[in-house]
Amino acid sequence: MSTEYLINLAYIAAAILFIFGLKQLGSPATARRGNLLSAVGMALAVFVTLFSSQILSYSTIIICVLIGGGIGAYAAEKVEMTAMPEMVAIFNGTGGMASLLVGWVALFGAQVDGFTAFTIALSVIIGGVTFTGSLIAYAKLSERMDGKPIVFDAQRMVNAGIIAAIVILAYLFIQNPSSSSSALWLLVVLAFVFGVMAVIPIGGADMPVVISLLNSYSGLAACAAGFAIDNNLLIVAGSLVGSAGIILTNIMCKAMNRSLANVLFSGFGAVKHSTKQTEGEVKPISVEDAYLILEAASNVMFVPGYGMAVAQAQHAVRELAENLEDNGAEVSFAIHPVAGRMPGHMNVLLAEANVPYDQLIEMDDANPRMDLVDVAIVIGANDVVNPAANEDESSPIYGMPVIEVPRARTVFVLKRGMAAGFSGVDNPLFFGENTRMLFGDAKESITGLVAEFKD
């Protein structure tokens, strides 16, 4: 009894470390220490668990921790920063899978009551959905699968059917919980299927919402597993993560002015089309002319989007920013909350390229100072700078807060060609009076500008 007592005291210490860790993750200056604190909490929790009287042999534990830890460490070291969204998705998925398995194993070697059976069912369902949902998110993000929403006619009916079946199976399982329950097997399978079905209709541009939501699920799955095995620490840590994920999800949805239900259940763009035809002329500009304007500018704002990640242009962009600063211009980076494929995607890429974080500003700070900006450089962003969101009530993205680049004196848009953005919406920005299109690969264009500065 006394070891169990000490173990639980250590769990309290671990929970405190998690809480302080998360708290310190909230500020760039302390974030690294915060992560370390929470890692120490985790190490402590796992270490003291080894002394539990429930543990009879260590061989399986040691071998499996080494295998899993090795895989995790290898992946974490090797991954490219541009591949970070899919890496986070994969780690999320493994966490969900682990919770599913922990819930499942709780059935063996002990008699379970109704409530425990209920929480086992929950951890299997949430864990399973998290696992396959994350795998699909991974496939979409790494472009192993088409990023377009996959929709078919009876989709809602099919999904409703799956949910109904899950509820019924869960009920059957709770009535008669045993490790040989066939209802549980079916439940696992259906949870996997539902994870796939839930993510395939969501398009690439909505991925920030999906990733934060799956992040939340992985916490909730751990929480459910905590109930299943009567472990306070799993409940505390799991619900901390669960609520963190929900907050992020909410921030992402607000940034797109859409409800969570809208993101999850409607294929974007398929809903309605703008009735307004965008008219006007596109004015292209050459690298040389762009350089002349930039050289005279005293305030330059970069607005990056997913295209910058695709073109791997972040290092070239940083070089251009440094040249502009040496030239006496004030440089900032305005980052829309849903730019890229995960929350804060652009910030990570720019940080990788050594852009100091005090130059990165959020949309709400960028818009008030837009009138002072001489040149706004839009790199591979489209929807997040689309003025139709403010002006055109028939536009599918109407109401979404955007970075109001047209108010800058001049706008450069770096773009491969004249295709519409991800959501398939026309962008009147391209036809704007003060807009100049710099066609071509973003990285090449920027490198060209840097070369001009060096001459």
Nearest distance from residue 424's CB to another protein, in Å?
Answer: 26
C-alpha 140/C-alpha 118 separation (Å) is: 33
- The nearer residue to another protein, 81 or 151, going by C-beta atoms, is 81
Q: What is the separation, in whole angstroms, between the first and last Cα of the chain?
A: 76
- What are the helix (H) ranges across 154-311? 155-175, 182-199, 207-228, 232-255, 260-265, 287-296, 306-311
Beta carbons within 10 angstroms of residue 438's beta carbon: 22
In angstroms, what CA-CA distances link 167 with 118, 136, 176, 178, 190? 11, 23, 15, 17, 10
Q: Name the phi and psi angles at 267, rounded to 5.
A: -65, 125
Nearest distance from residue 306's CB to another protein, in Å?
Answer: 14
**Tokens 């909490």 -> residue:** 41
Beta carbons within 10 angstroms of residue 210's beta carbon: 27
Active site residue 383: yes
Q: Which residues contact 34 (CB under 8 A, 6 or more apart)?
A: 20, 21, 22, 23, 24, 25, 26
- The nearer residue to another protein, 322 or 452, going by C-beta atoms, is 322
Element spanning 413, H or E: strand 410-415
**Tokens 């009551």 -> residue:** 113
Residue of 206, 383, 392, 426 marked active site: 383
- The nearer residue to another protein, 289 or 362, going by C-beta atoms, is 362
Nearest distance from residue 90's CB to another protein, in Å?
Answer: 8
Dump strand ranges (E) for 205-345.
299-304, 330-335
- The nearer residue to another protein, 61 or 163, going by C-beta atoms, is 61
Q: Which residues contact 200 (CB under 8 A, 6 or more apart)?
A: 136, 149, 150
Nearest distance from residue 401's CB to another protein, in Å?
Answer: 13
Question: What tokens does 164 get?
Answer: 């109904």
**Tokens 């809602």 -> residue:** 156
Q: Angle at the Cα of 61 (from 216 to 73), degrees rounded to 5? A: 55
Nearest distance from residue 257's CB to another protein, in Å?
Answer: 16
Nearest distance from residue 3's CB to another protein, in Å?
Answer: 13
- The nearer residue to another protein, 237 or 414, going by C-beta atoms, is 237
Nearest distance from residue 185's CB to another protein, in Å?
Answer: 11
- The nearer residue to another protein, 68 or 399, going by C-beta atoms, is 68
Nearest Cα to 430, choosing from 369, 372, 386, 367? 386
Question: What tokens does 404 get?
Answer: 């109001």
- The nearer residue to another protein, 258 or 436, going by C-beta atoms, is 258
HSE, side-chain direction, 13 A CA sphere, residue 27: 6
C-alpha 141/C-alpha 118 separation (Å) is: 34
Nearest distance from residue 329's CB to another protein, in Å?
Answer: 15
In angstroms, what CA-CA distances link 66 with 50, 69, 88? 15, 5, 21
- The nearer residue to another protein, 58 or 171, going by C-beta atoms, is 58
Please identify every residue annotated as catalytic: 383
